[in-house]
Amino acid sequence: MKTLVIGGGMAGLTYAIVACNNGEDVTVAERNSRVGKKLAMTGNGKCNLGNEIVTADRYNDSEIVRRVLEAISVDEYRRFLQGCGIFTYTDSEGRIYPLSDSASNVVDCLRHKLAQSGGKLLTDALVTGVTKRKDDYAVDIGGSTYAFDKVVVACGSRSQAGDTCIERLVPATALTPMFPSLVPVKAKNADGTLNGLRARAVVRLFDRDALLGIQRGEVLFRDYGLSGICIFNLSALIARRKVAGLDGDYRFEIDVVPDMNEVDLSDIVGKRFRSGEGDKAFYGILHNKLGEYVLRRAGNDATAAAHLAKHLEFYFDRLLDWSMSQVAAGGVDEAFVDVDALRLGNGVTVLGEALNVDGLCGGYNLYFAAASALYVFAQSERAKLSLV
């Protein structure tokens, strides 16, 4: 069985390694000069490989996600990683990292395991076409055409990467529109005053009066708008709505004093105003710059300032582009996929981010990329998942 895996990222390398161990003659075609370029950027270079608690609600609504999570446990994933020589630890928030704390070391381990397993690697090999023939596939790689018995599309997305040519690898009708997700947002009323400031916060995303989501964590204020993990996770809700053809009149409401209720805050701020120290109303509560900003926006009114600190509104303008995003919302639509085999009608298997699956920050995307590959083998009674 001559198998071509398109893409040497987490999904493609996982698939290729297990396929080699199941006797397939595997070639990985990677458009870059090295595999795992995106993988090496993950988790700020530390690679947040997964999470101890992976549930379907960490992803968009997807039957594929539910089936993959049911079939592949975190322990199964860890066994695969260990089979590749990657040992892990878990931080206090349940996020799984390699013991090496190095994403490029994870790439090295996977590349080494692929070579040890007999997998072939074609680099600088952009795949631009896949055509199903009677008994095989004709695949265009770097301007030449090659024949393979089986094709696996694991090309990821355009997030911080070039065009994947996915509409030439799978039937274009099988694709949803795709949008950058886990991405900073441009806000209409950002004025740059807070650029670079980080605040612990609770952030609510509304479409007019409808609450779409809440996140607690760090917000990073930027000159153009908002960033940080809270915002990334909420951006996913907007991006998924765009995939579904929905737009909205979005606003972020940020509580920058999440550990004090509005009555107590109002009391303290009011007292300071009454004693002639309104300019110091947020001393000991907020970063000076943020306190001054809140006071200015509240027109130096005590009640308004306390309320604003609990409900600092930013009006959504747009999601920033692919160059700033971590994943894509959208991709191969599961309506066109045989969910048991992650296979399209033409027999091509699709894995990882190329599918219309996106998870929140916290290791869920790398986990899904690998788990989707392991899932395909777990479905077959004859296949071995174990690498040892």
Ligand X SMILES: Cc1cc2nc3c(=O)[nH]c(=O)nc-3n(C[C@H](O)[C@H](O)[C@H](O)COP(=O)(O)OP(=O)(O)OC[C@H]3O[C@@H](n4cnc5c(N)ncnc54)[C@H](O)[C@@H]3O)c2cc1C
The binding site for ligand X (CB under 6 A) comprises: 6-12, 29-32, 37-39, 41-43, 47-48, 125-127, 154-156, 159-161, 164-165, 326-327, 352-353, 363-366, 369
164/215 with CB nearer ligand X:
164
Residue 54's alpha-carbon distances to 220, 282, 368, 371, 377, in angstroms, are: 26, 39, 9, 11, 20
**Smallest separation, CB 155 to ligand X (Å):** 3
Token pair 């795992």 in the structure block, residue: 36
49/285 with CB nearer ligand X:
49
27/266 with CB nearer ligand X:
27
Nearest residue to ligand X on Cβ basis: 9
59/314 with CB nearer ligand X:
59
DSSP annotation of 177 reads P
Angle at 349 between CA 366 and CA 40, to 5 degrees: 25
**Ramachandran region, residue 310 (left: φ > 0; alpha: ψ -120 to 50; beta: rest):** alpha
**Smallest separation, CB 117 to ligand X (Å):** 17
**Smallest separation, CB 103 to ligand X (Å):** 8
DSSP annotation of 19 reads H
**Smallest separation, CB 136 to ligand X (Å):** 19
Q: Rounded to whole angstroms, how far apart are CA atoms 30 and 10?
A: 12
67/95 with CB nearer ligand X:
95
Say if residue 139 is exposed, middle or buried (CB neighbours under 10 Å; 0-12, 13-18, 19+): buried
**Smallest separation, CB 98 to ligand X (Å):** 11
Q: Rounded to whole angstroms, how far apart are CA atoms 173 and 156?
A: 18
**Smallest separation, CB 335 to ligand X (Å):** 20
171/258 with CB nearer ligand X:
171
- Chain centre to alpha carbon of residue 70: 20
